[in-house]
Structure 1
Amino acid sequence: MKYLSSYKNPEIKLLRLLSKKSKERKKHFLFVIEGLRELKRALDGNYTINSIFIEEGYEIEFANITKKLSESDQYLVSKNVFEQISFRSGSEKIMAIAQSKKHYLDLFNPKKNDLILVIEAPEKPGNIGALLRTAVAADFDGVIIANPKTDFYNPNCIRSSLGCLFLLPTAIASTEEVVKYLIKKEFFIATAAIQEDAIPYNKFNYETPCALVMGAESSGLGAKWFEASNQHLIIPMSKYVDSLNLSVSAGILMYEAKAKIIEQQKH
């Protein structure tokens, strides 16, 4: 295991660059993972790990993962340097550089009973991560991100998902491409939108394959989604509140949709 004690080391420079610059992540098709839990979930999601970085003094603690990743480059990093390259103030003690996956729609292979989440124009990495974490928890079958405003492999996205973004099939494309794709694949498109014909989310019987579509907190959904929608859904709220956080709204709808479909499959 090579020892690194300088910020000027090429491997350290690359890791810092990938942590900070979306352009560099896209250029090299690489990204940074921090934390053992996240690294294990990346392996569960069949990601290729190019290299791992361990803070000196923690070699024994990570002996199992280093053995599992014996074909990856492995580095032992001085405490001072590790604390500086870590975006969690060095609390996790292990980092890695992994290869990005391709997230094309034509690689997204839904089944006839699939239940997927579609996120329109998400702006905050933390929101994307939280939504993917909830989608995994609710046992959804995949996620499509339409017209994203941020990088899928942003460290904050990975952190807020607790590595769950590695576990679900995920496609990324323009809104127009996603709409055409869902119609071609005969998805029932259920949109979260305040419209005249919207019905309460808990009064609706979800059909599969079903795409549950959520808009960004700031802008909601656009005209293309209103035209494509098979049903608009709303979450009834107290007169004192006119909106919910995107992650909260999505969680409510996802769990309701999953529960309804499970119930239907029993009969």
Structure 2
Amino acid sequence: MKVIVSTKNLELKKMLLLYKKSRERKKQGLFIIEGEREIINALKSNYILEKFFLEEGVSFNNVNIKNAINNTPTIVVEKKTFKKISIRSGGEKIIAIARSKSHELKTLKLSRKSLIVVIEEPEKPGNIGALYRTAAAAKIDAIIISNPKTDFYNPNSIRSSLGDIFKIPTAIESNENVVSFLRKREFNIFTTFIKLDSARYDEFDYQLPCALVIGSESEGLSNFWSKVASENLVIPMAKTSNSINLSVAAGILIYEAIRKNNKLEKNTFL
């Protein structure tokens, strides 16, 4: 098999364009996954992988990876060149081009016992990835992203989630369509505004089905959500602080809601 030795190679240029340009990812319906763990999670979640780039001489023990490589067009890249195209510093030796999914609300399979998270206008890929790690650990039923300010398939979101971003059923929609969807399914909508009449997050019962709605660090939730909320919750903070990281706030609420509804799995430890 021919080994690519230059970043000027056309296939590498096309791949790097998907890395760097959100517009290209959306236009082509393709995105980049780097790392064995991340690719395994994508395969388990039925993502279609269209091409692999492997560092010369690398081999894998995972059966899913081996089968995928054997049945997918693969390009081998010389070691020094591979380091130049990799955005990871951890020595990953495999990159895949994958096909995007549609992420429509109608694809979500929810029940009367569902607990989901809605994040409005997330803008930092790293925080999105961290949220998905928490959501995957807690086995959240779904995440809905409303009015996003960043591309869902940003490589930094995938990297910071360690591939957990592929595990959680996800929909991406406008605020109005999200609320309509939730109301039709009789979801309680619990928001996170800092208001005098807010209920403390740890003194609330989180009746299911419910959606925990969280805004970005920079802007918080828009006033749109104050008009549709079933209840507003607050996480107490020191007077010297005015915000909590999106993924941290989500984690606090998620695990409190799980605890109150006895959804914690017994005998499960880190």
**TM-score normalised by the chain length of structure 1:** 0.93
CA pair 229-26 structure 1, distance change in 2 beyond 3 A: same
Instruction: Verify the 8 A CA contact 1:116 1:143 in the aligned structure 2.
Output: yes
Matched residues in 2 for 1:144 and 1:90: separation? 30
Aligned length: 265
The answer to whether the Cα contact below 8 Å between 1:66 and 1:74 also exists between their aligned partners in 2 is no
Tell me what 2:38 maps to.
38
Identity within the alignment, %: 52
Taking only aligned residues, the RMSD between alpha carbons, in angstroms, comes to 2.0
Indicate the SS of the match to 2:219. coil
Describe the SS at the equivalent of 1:232: strand
Q: Normalized against structure 2, the TM-score is what? A: 0.92
The change in CA–CA distance for 1:10 and 1:127 in structure 2 (over 3 A counts) is: same
Aligned residue in 1 for 2:66: 66
What amino acid maps onto 2:205 in structure 1?
Answer: N
Q: In 2 relative to 1, CA 189–13 (structure 1 residues): closer, same or farther, beyond 3 Å? A: same
Q: What's the offset of the Cα at 1:68? A: 3.8
1: CA distance between counterparts of 2:120 and 2:2?
A: 44
- State whether residues 130 and 161 of structure 1, in contact with CA within 8 Å, keep that contact through their aligned partners in structure 2: yes
What is the aligned partner in structure 1 of residue 109 from structure 2? 109
Q: Specify every segment of 5 or more residues in structure 2 that has no aligned partner in the other structure, as ranges.
A: 265-270
What is the distance in 2 between the residues matched to 1:230 and 1:67?
Answer: 48
What's 1:241 paired with?
A: 241
How do residues 88-237 of structure 1 correspond to structure 2 at under 5 angstroms?
88-89=88-89, 91-237=91-237
- Residue 62 of structure 1, CA deviation: 5.6
What is the CA-CA distance between 1:192 and the residue it aligns to?
Answer: 1.1
After TM superposition, the structure 1 stretch with the greater mean CA deviation from structure 2, 98-107 or 114-123, is 98-107
Which amino acid is the alignment partner of residue 34 of structure 1?
A: E
For 1:26, give the aligned amino acid. Answer: K
Amino acid at match of 1:116: I
SS at match of 2:70: coil
Does the residue aligned with 1:82 lie in a helix, a strand or coil? helix
Q: Which amino acid aligns with 2:218?
A: S
Confirm or deny: 8 A CA contact 2:60 2:66 kept in the other structure: no
